[in-house]
Chains A and B, each alone.
Chain A
Amino acid sequence: MLETIKEFAGEFFVTGDPMILGAQISIALVSLAILFVLTYFKKWKWLWTEWLTTVDHKKIGIMYIMASLLMLFRGGFDALLMRIQLAIPDAGFLHGDHYNQIFTTHGVIMILFMAMPLMFGLFNVIVPLQLGARDVAFPFLNAFSFWMFFAGAMLFNLSFVIGGSPAAGWLAYPPLSELTGSPGVGQDFYIWGIQISGIGSLATGINFVVTILKMRAPGMKLMKMPMFSWSTLASCITIMFAFPILTVTLFLLFLDRYMGAHFFTVDGGGNPMMYLNLIWMWGHPEVYIVVLPAFGIYSEVVSAFSRKKIFGYKSMVFALMSISFLSFFTWAHHFFTMGSGADVNAFFAVTTMIIAIPTGVKVFNWLFTMYRGRITFEVPMLWAIAFIPCFVVGGMTGVMLSVAPADFQFHNSYFLIAHFHQVLIGGVVFGYFAAFYYWWPKVFGFKLNATLGKWAFWLWNIGFYVCFMPQYYLGLDGMTRRLYTYDFDMGWLELNILSTIGAFFMGAAFLFQVWDIVYSIKNAKREHKADSWGVGRTLEWGIPSPPPFYNYARVPVVTEQDDFWEKKMRAERGEADPAIVKAAEEAPLEPIHMPKNSGIPIIMSGFWFIAGFGFVWDWKWMIVLGLIGVIATMIARSFNYNDDYYVQVEEIERIEAAAAAKGAV
């Protein structure tokens, strides 16, 4: 009996590595500490009613962002481990298999469990406020999406200490990711972690498309909608078309691994090339899914801190939508070297280059938004400004990679690594940081400390260039990606050391950001100003910070693009608001229809987690238990008619008065 348990534990837990043992112990200790604190301070009920069962888009947004910062820490820690290993030739810090697990999880976490939830968090916090809506179109589905993401992320991260991490690269190309190449359970954790969170992502995409199309305030024509909401629409439409491809692809891989099917195997008539095509049909749109909202953020931030209307609004909208469309016609540029022939390569090279045109136009429009503006350099604006040169260089190297015959020399090398980190960090992460600092005071009523914010900004930027510029050269000098070690004779030593130093700068920058958050929560002045920065242009800057849970006491009526800014300008000029605006503002308060909290999303996702864990280990009783739970919660939801309520006028009056007393409006 004891032997059986020992044997099981040896396979179940990852053993034999002191670093992982340390992680296992600290995870256990931290979990115990959290349980203790919650119990000791009697916070369980608070946690359940205020957070775990909430359907409030702002709270869900905050939970998304918290989870994504946690994942940024994990993914960043992975990156530092890799950079330590690569700093010197023949380093023995990590052995091959461990290194392979780390770069695989680094990639998956950074894209799917860091960038995506951070983006969803920003959608959640900002979009309904910008539209003048009281919540998203489907608040219950929104909570469900978050918990599915969370369940998937936890399942994936669990592989670090239980069963072993996947090690076949972030896109898991077969035949390496098939049973023959990856016999362990790591690859199954990968499939189920992504599948479960992917359902959540697809649902979020649908949710926000409907929210944007159906829930804008009266008068907000599509062509008067703020740019961030436009970029959200572009991104979510892309999600709706791209994510089903991912789900199907991973499902087929699952069938191969679990049922012995032959979709992507090399034997039995399977074809791995099919997988490469399918995964990139999702994978390429995916990078535009995460970068389009960043474009929207830059538009908002640049316009706000230049105190000037966005230049070329129509061009910007057209560029966003055309990028979203074109992103589906470039996937094969990820494998020009697969031997598809000159016709195919020429086609995909040209479609890829074409995307540079609308992207370039956007850069010019941002520049000319600043032109004849009045620019101030608050932290969000610093990120937006740093983005421009960084993204231009990243875009240019992207164009270089799109030149198919030249790509034969760049492909799979550190040149490629440097390129996509430049567009993903310089484009996506910088943008999300800009949004993080910009909308923080709207959500919490106080600003983050600017001095610490600037320290983080400069460390991030210096670190970025020191880390990734050498990698372009290393790529041209023949260094390929995913090497866990290299020979001293290659002459790659100096630049790798430099790159590692840069990575640690970025690590330090992240610590400054954490410090900034903690410091500001403790010390920052609670200003509660509605127009936190004094430069707000869109609706959300006209309501209290933090906004009441119903957002708008009265549904606003919109007459202009940048409606809030125009209202301020009218007041400055001493003009009266248009009659319809006035009428809406002075209308008597009415009871507000709101959704009730629900425990079903978190419970249903918990059952998905159980089913996923069962599939990973092929424990049939667990799969059945999980799936029965999923179905039961679905049925429970279907027969629950008590899911909404009205906020009474007295309560609205009380909340609005309290906000006004804090100096909010």
Chain B
Amino acid sequence: MSAPTITLPADSPPMKAESKALDFYYGNFKALKRVSMPVYEHKVTALIGPSGCGKSTFLRCFNRMHDLYPGNRYDGTIQLLPDAVNLLDPGVDPIEVRMRISMVFQKPNPFPKSIYENVAYGLRVRGEKSRTYLDDKVEAALKGAAIWEEVKDRLDEVATNLSGGQQQRLCIARALATDPEMLLFDEPTSALDPIATGSIEELINELKDKVSILIVTHNMQQAARVSDFVGYMYLGEMIEFGDTKEIFMKPKRRETEDYITGRFG
């Protein structure tokens, strides 16, 4: 195992989160090996790598999704800045982590409830009852996710009747409604057609002004289009991290180059 090649930009933007020497175990299987990587504020950071390299596993550490299943174990830290709280600290409640960091999943997963209730759910969980406040937040989130015009006249309809691309934008609205500090995307376009994919990518580009984004993608073109920074992972290790242009134009590591040029993976 050789040390990862981490190239930090010269004029480093402020950091939003930082993973340090993160190990993760599914039972006895070590899925992540000393993964270290920064996530910069108001930037899009992409995780790429072949299937099974641990990029989704890594992403799901950021909102403690692994806590839902028995036998999973973290070692190492993920600090959320500016308060430098370690998200993986057993003393930190995973619910608190998920209230601060939202997630959008691979398969659009709206609840079989109304469009309105889908977006309002994160706020309802926080005990929000004021109808006018909820109305405002729902509208703002739907506008933020570029789906307001399509659904404003049918907020009471069941969300699962929307098209796949609309469902995914609704899920983004649901994630945005609670004003998260960070947004996690787990291959958000892999179940969508090219047009819907285009609109989601455009949206990710707009969202980074408001929120720091970490995205897993199996599609290198997508990583090149949407991200500012890229981490290449292989077999549970972070092989190389750096500026997206640098990584794609002149990667420092041979493995990264092989993957990017399609000679491998």
A associates with B: no
